[in-house]
Amino acid sequence: MKIAIISKLWENTSPNSTGGTGSSVGNLVNELVKQGHNVTLFATKMSKTNAQKLVAFKSKPYNEDYSEIMEYVTIAEAFDPKYKFDLIHAHVEHKSLFFGNLTNTPTLHTIRYGEFFDQETALLKKHKKQFFAANSKALITKYPYLNYLGYSYNGLDLSKFPFNDKPKPYLFFLGRISPQKGAIDAIKIAKKAKMPIYLAGKMVEADQVFIKQIKQEFKKKGITYLGELNFKEKIKYLKNAYCLLQPTDTKNFFEACSNTILESMAVGTPVITTNSGSNKELVQHGKTGFIINSVDQAVKAVKKAKDLKREDCRKRIEKYFTIERMANGYLKIYKKLINKAK
């Protein structure tokens, strides 16, 4: 098939991307090409995949230079009839809906994010009869009125995630340094568990008040902030961690399908996380980690984590969350899409 893949411009699209959508879409593109499909990727110019063609108008991901015009120019280009695609697969949430009804090319909109503003939700409802996919069952439950053709979890290229059965005695937090992701709670858990913790992730201007607060914690013994890590450094800290802490604020953030959780289990590191979005679909409670709802529960889980078998974490990823499984899931959805479009 001749497939258009539209990715987000907030990050480069590559299997090694620091962004969840960038890495997942990068893996999907590579696996589709591996299986013999012709893929044109619409993304940033710095994106690196095996797509036969890259169409880009933005050189680098957005930093402080967000341009709505540039975003819609990229999306609109994918819908130009000159390309003669067999199908268009958009990973830009609601933004591709403006174009879906204007083409005869079968179009699939994958929802990858669990938080929408009121106007965005209204737009989804207005276009609910277009064809959708999700990257978890939890997302389908949250927005049940959309016309879903199925779901496919994010998948990993396991050759990039070396398994480690000999962790070091530290905890790890990987994600945006923000109240929604639970960075402060991760520090509280580490203190109560009397274990050192490393934190890695980006900081953004919108969280300035919170950042001032947490920077005071970074000065204390046993708490180390590493900044935003590249792929190689991320894997090093993940595979050597005793366990990953991801105490997401369940009231203010919805985890659609956390790559951080998947990457942690892939290298054998168990995960302690809250019941946010699809987390309980990814983590097998009591076997590959623990689903908790308080700091105290998390501290108890840290102590129990020593009894978990790290190979069980790896096996879960091998069974349910590989790039092959992700791509095959979407290919089944593509067949449904083409049949319904006819």
- Domains within the chain, CATH numbers bracketed: 2-156+322-341 (3.40.50.2000), 158-319 (3.40.50.2000)
The per-residue pLDDT for range 123-145, each reduced to its tens digit, is 999 999 999 999 999 999 999 99
What's the mean pLDDT in 85-109?
A: 97
Res. 59: pLDDT tops 80:
yes
What's the mean pLDDT in 210-229?
A: 91
DSSP 23-70: HHHHHHHHHHHHTT-EEEEES-TT-----SEEE-S-SS--SS---HHH
Entry field: residues in the chain: 342
Confidence of residue 113 (pLDDT cuts 50, 70, 90): confident
Lowest mean pLDDT among 111-125, 197-211, 326-340: 197-211
Cα 269 to chain centroid distance, Å, stands at 18
What's the mean pLDDT in 100-128?
A: 95
Residue with the bigger pLDDT between 134 and 218: it is 134
Confidence of residue 115 (pLDDT cuts 50, 70, 90): confident
Query: 295-304 and 183-193 are packed helices; what angle lies between their axes, rounded to 10 degrees?
Result: 50
Confidence of residue 240 (pLDDT cuts 50, 70, 90): very high
pLDDT for 64? 78
Confidence of residue 302 (pLDDT cuts 50, 70, 90): very high
pLDDT for 204? 79
Res. 206: pLDDT tops 80:
no
Considering only CA atoms, which of 107, 117, 120, 112 is closest in space to residue 140? 112
| Other CB atoms within 10 A of residue 19 CB | 19
Share of the chain above pLDDT 90, in %: 91
Res. 196: pLDDT tops 80:
yes
Share of the chain above pLDDT 70, in %: 100
The per-residue pLDDT for range 276-291, each reduced to its tens digit, is 999 999 999 999 999 9
What's the mean pLDDT in 311-320?
A: 98
Compute the half-sphere exposure of residue 199: CA atoms within 13 Å on the CB side of its CA: 28
Res. 157: pLDDT tops 80:
yes
pLDDT for 208? 80
Edge-to-edge order in the sheet of strand 2-6:
53-55, 38-42, 2-6, 87-90, 107-111, 131-134, 147-151
Confidence of residue 173 (pLDDT cuts 50, 70, 90): very high
Res. 320: pLDDT tops 80:
yes
Res. 205: pLDDT tops 80:
no
